[in-house]
Amino acid sequence: MARVTHPASASALLRHVRTGRARSRAELVALTGASRNTVSARVDQLIGANLLAEGGRGWSTGGRPPTLLRFNSGAGCVLAVDLGVTSVDVAVTDLSAQVLATVGHPIDIADGPGPVLAEVDRLAQKVLAEAGLTPADVCAVGVGVPGPVEFSTGRPFHPPIMPGWHDHPIPSAFGRYECPVYADNDVNVMALGEMGVAGSVEDVLVVKVGTGIGCGIIIEGRVYRGAQGSAGDIGHISVPAPGGRAVVCRCGNENCLEAIAGGGALLRDAVAAGLPVGSTRELVQLAAHGDGPALELVRNAGRTIGTVLASLVNFFNPHRIVMTGGVAQAGAPLLAGIREAVYGRSMPLAARALDITVSDAPDLSGRLGAALMAIEGFLDEDTVHQAVAR
C-alpha cells in the first residue's frame, strides 16, 4: 500500500510550511487534497498557537494574490547537546535549527554522568544567557551520546566506552527546563544532521567509520530504530577477511567488519606494516598526503566496507549513502574502495542512481542533528495537536 504522504493534520500542514513545500493556504490545499475550509481552520489554529505567521502577498495567477504563510521559528528554542568522548558541544537554536549561541568544552566521558552532565548544565545556562533567553523559552532538548541509548527512556544501554553511564536517565539532568528531552546514539543523531533542515523524505544510510563502525538509517527523513533500537549496528557483520586470515573482534566473534576495516584495525595494520604512525588520525593524514602504503590500507578498508554496503544496497535500496567519522576524512581512497565493491556487486536498478559521498560538515552534524531531534520531537503530531486544541 502507498505510504501516507499528505495527510492534512495540523502537524502535517505545519511541516509543509516549515520545509518550504507550501507557502499559502491555496498551496496547502493543492498539496494535501484537503478542503479549503479544513485547511483554513487548521492554519488559523496554528497561527493562534504562534507556530505560523502571516505576512506579505505572493504572486497571483489571477484573482486576489495569496497571503503568504511562514513558520514562526522564533516561537521557542531548543538545546542541542553533542556529547563526545573527550569534548562536548552545547548549542541553543531556534525552531529552524539556526544556532543562536554555541560553546564547546573538554570533558572525559569516563568521569561518569554526574560530573559530565553537571558541566553540560553549566554550559547550557551559559549559551542561553548569551542568546538572551531563559529556561522557560526552551521547548525541547536533544542529546547525542557516544554509545547505545534506549530511545524511549533516554538511558544508555551497556555503552562500551562510557563507564558508569549504563541505565542513567539522561533526561533527569534537564529537569529545570520542564520540556521533553530526547537522547539517542551519536550515529542516529549525526544521520539526522546530515539530512539537514530541508525536510528530506529520502531513504539514506549514514555510515560512521571511526574506531568502530555504525550506521544511522533514515527512512523518509526519520530515524529507523528497529525492534530493540539496535538497527544500524553493522560493525559486527561478518566479512571475508583479506588473505583468509581470522581476526578476533572485541565482541569475541571472528572477522567482524570493524575488526577488519575500523579505525583501530587500520592503525593495527599500519603499525604491523612499519608505517610511522601512532594514531588512526595520523594514518588518515598520511593517506591524504598521498603515501602509497597508507592509501592502499585505506582503500582496502573501503573495499571491505563496500562488500557490506553492497548487500545493504540490495536489501534497503537507499537514495544515498553518506560516509562520516574520522576514517571518512581520508576521502577519495576510502570512497574509491567502497564504490568499487558497491557498484560491482549491487543490483543495477538499486545502484544506478545511488549517490555515495563523504559528509560535508562532520563536525557540525552532531549538533545540528541534536537540534533537529529536539525540534521534530517538539513539533510532532501530539504536541502540535495539543497546542492547537488549547
Binders in 25-84 for its own copies, by CB under 8 A = 32-35, 38
Measure the CA–CA gap between 357 and 334, rounded to whole angstroms: 10
Comparing CB distances to its own copies, the nearer of 115 and 344 is 344
Cα dihedral angle (358, 363, 367, 372), rounded to 10 degrees? Answer: -20
Total length of the chain: 390
Asked if residue 4 binds its own copies (CB under 8 A), the reply is yes
Give the nearer residue to its own copies in terms of CB position, either 246 or 349.
349
Q: Does residue 238 belong to the site contacting its own copies (CB under 8 A)?
A: yes
- Which is closer to its own copies, CB of 34 or CB of 287? 34
Site string for its own copies, 146-185 (x = CB under 8 A): --x--xx----x------------------------x---
> What cell numbers appear for 169 in the block?
536517565
Question: Which residues partner with 69 through β-bridges?
Answer: 54
Cα separations in angstroms, 8 against 12, 40, 374? 6, 11, 23
State the number of CA atoms in the 13 A half-sphere of 77 facing the CB. Answer: 23
**Near its own copies in 133-152, by CB under 8 A:** 148, 151-152
Contacts to its own copies from residues 75-134, by CB under 8 A: none
Grid coordinates given for 67: 497571503
List the x/- string, 339-358, binding to its own copies by CB under 8 A.
------x-x-xx-xxx----
At 143, the amino acid letter reads V
Residues in contact with its own copies, counted by CB under 8 A, come to a total of 72
Q: Is 226 one of the binding residues for its own copies (CB under 8 A)? A: yes
Determine, following the binding rule CB under 8 A, whether residue 11 of this chain makes contact with its own copies: yes
Residues within window 252-311 making contact with its own copies, judged by CB under 8 A: 253, 307-308, 310-311
Min dist. Cβ of residue 21 to its own copies (A): 16
Cβ atoms of 91 and 102 within 8 Å: the answer is yes
Cα separation, 273 vs 299, whole angstroms? 15
In this structure, what are the phi and psi dihedrals at residue 19, rounded to the nearest 5 degrees?
-95, 5
Which of 260, 270, 267, 268 is closest to 303 using CA atoms? 260
Convert residues 314-343 into a mask of x (bound to its own copies by CB under 8 A) and - (unbound): xxxxxx------------------------
